[in-house]
């Protein structure tokens, strides 16, 4: 890792790339340094850790996007001082309950106020297995306090949201059409093709073909990440990855805690990349 970064994590989210953030930011920085990049767009923004962790010394427009209204709403609410404090106060006095979890999970988020949507969404993240919002997570450790940890992260890092140029709530097709240019770098971490049902908005083979076509038409630079479970699908559309690297996955205790992640990159050279597992 050549670039010193401060990792910014406001809240966890399923499929997030926090564990490989150093390599993602390093790739982004190398493209910024080599090309005339004016705008960096995190197309499938999730928790926002990638775009928020891009060092401030790089004077580029920083655009967060996600098609999930709940994620976009959280970031916007946390920027408002009064709303943020009311949300954190509600979370601080909440209890970890399976019944409350299921009530929030089954609620109609679209008909809630922005604050109530944020409270319920963050509660589900803190109390679900793997932050997937699907299944209630029983506490193995009696001293485990995910809500307090979440609140601390928000208090420490919310100010980085205000450094974003724009927060968008668009389909990937529309965001690429809106920002695509020879001066744009797209970071792409789409929903897992092999496990897309975990996401509210899944991704299918036609979406990947659309993604490749639009990126080519826009003439933009891009970094695409995907796990090894999807390599066959991605290879068919994007070709072989620029490089592959193995990471530790702390969700498991056996040999499966090592997983390979692929990087498909336009605008990147490998001459100094001796620390990666190259294509075989």
pLDDT in tens, 67-93: 999 999 999 999 999 999 999 999 999
Q: Which residue range forms the structural domain that includes residue 150?
A: 72-158
CB 38 within 8 A of CB 183: yes
Answer whether residue 3 shows pLDDT above 70. no
In this structure, is residue 140 part of a structural domain?
A: yes
d(CA 171, CA 176): 9
d(CA 133, CA 123): 9
Residues 118, 147 share a domain: yes
Residues 93, 78 share a domain: yes
Answer whether residue 143 shows pLDDT above 50. no
* Res. 271 pLDDT band, cuts 50 70 90: low
Answer whether residue 196 shows pLDDT above 50. yes
Residues 51, 92 share a domain: no
In this structure, is residue 2 part of a structural domain?
A: no
* Res. 268 pLDDT band, cuts 50 70 90: confident
Residues 91, 44 share a domain: no
Residues 211, 87 share a domain: no
Residues 133, 180 share a domain: no
Answer whether residue 135 shows pLDDT above 90. no
In this structure, is residue 81 part of a structural domain?
A: yes
Residues 221, 147 share a domain: no
Q: What is the CATH number of the domain that holds 129?
A: 1.10.1020
Say if pTM beats, i.e. exceeds, 0.85: yes
Answer whether residue 172 shows pLDDT above 90. yes
Residue 193 CA to its chain's centroid (Å):
16
Residue 256: what pLDDT?
A: 54
Q: How many domains does the chain have?
A: 2
Secondary structure of 1-63 as H, E, C letters: CCCCCCCCCCCCCCCCCHHHHHHHHHHHHHHHHHCCCCEEEECCCCCCHHHHHCCCCCCCEEE
In this structure, is residue 272 part of a structural domain?
A: no
Residue 1: what pLDDT?
A: 46
Q: Which of 133, 158, 183 is the last residue of a domain?
A: 158
Answer whether residue 149 shows pLDDT above 50. yes
| Exposed / middle / buried, residue 231 (Cβ in 10 Å: 0-12, 13-18, 19+) | middle
Residues 77, 49 share a domain: no
In this structure, is residue 145 part of a structural domain?
A: yes
- Share the mean pLDDT of the chain: 87
Residues 47, 122 share a domain: no
Q: What is the CATH number of the domain that holds 247?
A: 3.40.50.150
Residue 138: what pLDDT?
A: 73
| Exposed / middle / buried, residue 256 (Cβ in 10 Å: 0-12, 13-18, 19+) | exposed
Query: How much is the average pLDDT of 196-204?
Result: 69
**Percent of the chain's residues with pLDDT above 70:** 86
d(CA 120, CA 116): 6
For residue 94, give Cα distances in angstroms to 73, 87, 149, 176, 258: 20, 11, 13, 39, 35
Residues 178, 55 share a domain: yes
């Amino acid at each position: 890792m050549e670039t010193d970064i401060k990792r910014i994590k406001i809240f966890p989210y399923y499929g997030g790339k926090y564990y490989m953030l150093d390599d993602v930011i390093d790739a982004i920085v190398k493209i910024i340094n080599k090309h005339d990049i004016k705008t960096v767009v995190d197309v499938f923004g999730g928790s926002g850790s990638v775009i928020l962790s891009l060092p401030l010394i790089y004077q580029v427009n920083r655009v967060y996007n996600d098609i999930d209204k709940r994620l976009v709403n959280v970031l916007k609410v946390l920027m408002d001082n009064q709303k943020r404090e009311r949300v954190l106060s509600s979370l601080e006095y909440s209890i970890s309950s399976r019944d409350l979890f299921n009530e929030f999970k089954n609620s109609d988020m679209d008909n809630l106020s922005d604050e109530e949507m944020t409270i319920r969404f963050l509660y589900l993240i803190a109390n679900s297995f793997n932050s997937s919002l699907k299944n209630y997570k029983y506490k193995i450790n009696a001293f485990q306090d995910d809500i307090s940890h979440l609140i601390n992260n928000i208090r420490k890092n919310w100010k980085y949201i205000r450094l974003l140029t724009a927060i968008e709530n668009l389909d990937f097709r529309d965001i690429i059409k809106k920002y695509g240019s020879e001066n744009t770098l797209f970071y792409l971490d789409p929903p897992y093709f092999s496990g897309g049902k975990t996401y509210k908005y899944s991704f299918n083979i036609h979406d990947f073909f659309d993604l490749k076509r639009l990126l080519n038409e826009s003439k933009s630079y891009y970094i695409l990440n995907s796990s090894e479970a999807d390599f066959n699908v991605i290879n068919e559309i994007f070709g072989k990855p620029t490089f592959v690297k193995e990471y530790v996955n702390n969700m498991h205790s056996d040999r499966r805690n090592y997983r390979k992640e692929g990087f498909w990159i336009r605008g990147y050279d490998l001459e100094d990349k001796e620390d990666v597992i190259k294509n075989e």
